[in-house]
Amino acid sequence: MLVFIISIPAVHLFLIEPYLTIFIIAFSCMWMFGITFVSLHHLVSKNLLEEPLPVIELKEQEEKEDDEKLFAEVSNTIKTNELFLNIDLTIIEVAFAVNQHPKLVSKTINRNTNVNFNTFINDFRVEYAKIVLKDPKYKHITIDEIGKMSGFRSKSVFYSNFKRVLKITPLQFQKN
């Protein structure tokens, strides 16, 4: 009603009926104050403003537990089946191996490690390369070949990931 009355030229209404205009404005203000006061009084009387809300609801907690289980399954599948050794490994192949949607697998990896899929896989590859670099039976193999054996597509990707994880080059690691 106030919006309708205000939509009439306010100056014209004020000139014709100034007391009516003041009454309408005062009534509207009191009405809004009353609604606000009653609502606030209701919240306080029910202690809704004073009770802390639960930080993690039950549903969110269940989702988090499911997420952690899926992450453990993904990690275990990649490790035990040595999927990371495949140079052409994709999120789709990993998702297929754990029977989940690729987007869900990707989100699970991101949430649990704070890295993307490629970085996650390259970390497995670096760990594998560390083992091979220290194994005496692989002394005759070049470092570049060890990188390819570990699943890296190129020498530069192998070196950059190795250095990112260990802060030293593969050659320095092998000599130590």
pLDDT one-digit tens code per residue, 64-83: 778 889 999 999 999 999 99
- Whether residue 97 is predicted with pLDDT greater than 90 in this model: the reply is yes
Q: Which of 61-65, 96-100, 114-118, 130-134 has the lowest mean pLDDT?
A: 61-65
Q: What is the pLDDT of residues 50-68, one digit of tens each?
A: 555 555 555 666 677 788 8
What φ, ψ does residue 53 adopt, rounded to 5°? -80, 145
Percent residues over pLDDT 90 in the chain: 59
The pLDDT value recorded for residue 89 is 95
Q: Copy the structure tokens of residue 166.
A: 């260990």
Q: Give mean pLDDT, residues 7-23.
A: 61
- Check pLDDT > 60 for residue 44: no
* pLDDT higher than 70, residue 121: yes
**pLDDT of amino acid 9:** 58
- pLDDT value of residue 53: 52
Looking at residue 63, its pLDDT comes to: 74
pLDDT at position 54: 58
Neighbours of 38 (CB within 10 A): 10
SS3 category, 44: helix
Question: If residue 174 lies in a helix (H) or strand (E), which one and from where to where?
Answer: helix 170-175
What pLDDT band is residue 40 in, cutting at 50, 70 and 90?
A: low
Q: Which residue has the tokens 């990112």?
A: 164
Q: What's the mean per-residue pLDDT of the chain?
A: 81
pTM: 0.64
Helix (H, G, I), strand (E, B) or coil at 158: helix
The top-level CATH class assigned to 120-175 is mainly alpha
Give dist(CA 133, CA 127) in Å, integer. Answer: 10
Cβ atoms of 141 and 75 within 8 Å: the answer is no
